[in-house]
Amino acid sequence: MISIKNLLVQRNGRDALKVETLDISKGETLAVVGPNGAGKSTFLLALAHLLKATKGEVMLHGKSQRDWNDLEYRRRIAFVFQDPLLMDMSVRENIALGLKFRNVEKKEANERIYQWAKAMGVEALLERRANQLSGGEAQRVSLARAFVLDPELLLMDEPFSAVDPQTREKLLDDLSRVLAENQRTTVFVTHNLKEAAQFGDRVAVIIGNELKQVGRPQQVKESPVDSSVGVFLRGL
């Protein structure tokens, strides 16, 4: 579904990410790991077309990002950031945001909102204001806001790092159930190798602004391509 070739992304004149080649197939979950500042978030932003490729190609369904209408491309995707970044409005309105952008009819929107609020366990909070939520609740709303769009590609940037460990466990359980039920193409960044192995069909290791290795979790762990990958994985 996604195909990357010789991608270079520069930010502020510096190389922020290099990916020689990578294919992500439909329904696959790809976990992205790597040290802080290695280029993981840049990778997600480039996939979302929120950062433009300096060189090379990111292709969706065989068509280069450059040839896609920007808005049409972005509307096939949903992005979940590390912080929930909810708007100052009710939970319902927050979950409705992307549907509103797409002019989804109100009745259908409300059904979908309820369905995903329920799946994320926040259906009782729908009329509450977003700034009254706990960190865990806010992140659940942020996930519901992405899932409700039924995106072809779901991108998540460390969605669990800002919540306490207990909430995190529960969130992970709920998310793995939802992901398993829906077979959605997902790319998520994590700091946790266990998490990567639990969710990821494959793991991508980004070190020093470069995609170093992609493979099944066990395989990457057992045979790292070079010492930097080996050292990083042992340290996790």
Partner 1 sequence: MSEIFEITTLSLQVSMLATVISLVIGLPFGTWLALGKFRGRSILLSIVNTGMALPPVVVGLVVAMTLWRSGPLGDLRLIYTPWAIVIAQTVISAPVVMGLTAAALEALDPRLQQQLLGLGASRPQMIWHLWHEARLPLLAALMAGFGSVISEVGASMMVGGNIRGQTRVLTTAIVLETSKGEFERALALSALLLIITYLINLALTWIQQKGARK
**Sites of contact with partner 1 (CB under 8 A):** 45, 48, 50, 71, 74-75, 77-79, 81, 83, 85, 87-89, 97-98, 101-102, 145-146, 149, 155
8 A C-beta contact, residue 137 and residue 125? yes
In the complex, the smallest distance separating the C-beta of residue 219 from partner 1, rounded to whole angstroms, is 31
Q: How far is the CB of 17 from partner 1 (least distance, A)?
A: 16
Find residue 33's DSSP bridge partners.
205
**Is 152 or 210 the residue whose CB approaches partner 1 more closely?**
152
Nearer to partner 1, 69 or 227 (CB): 69
Cα 5 from Cα 22, distance rounded (Å)? 7
Nearer to partner 1, 12 or 166 (CB): 12
CA distance 139 to 110: 20
Nearer to partner 1, 97 or 179 (CB): 97
Angle, in degrees to the nearest 10, between helices 135-147 and 165-182: 10
Residue 64's DSSP bridge partners are 59
Give residue 185's identity as a one-letter amino acid code.
T
Q: How far is the CB of 70 from partner 1 (least distance, A)?
A: 9
The H or E element spanning position 46 is helix 40-47
CB of 198 to partner 1, least distance (A): 24
Nearer to partner 1 by Cβ, of 68 and 81: the residue is 81
Q: What are phi and psi of 3, to 5 degrees?
A: -140, 125
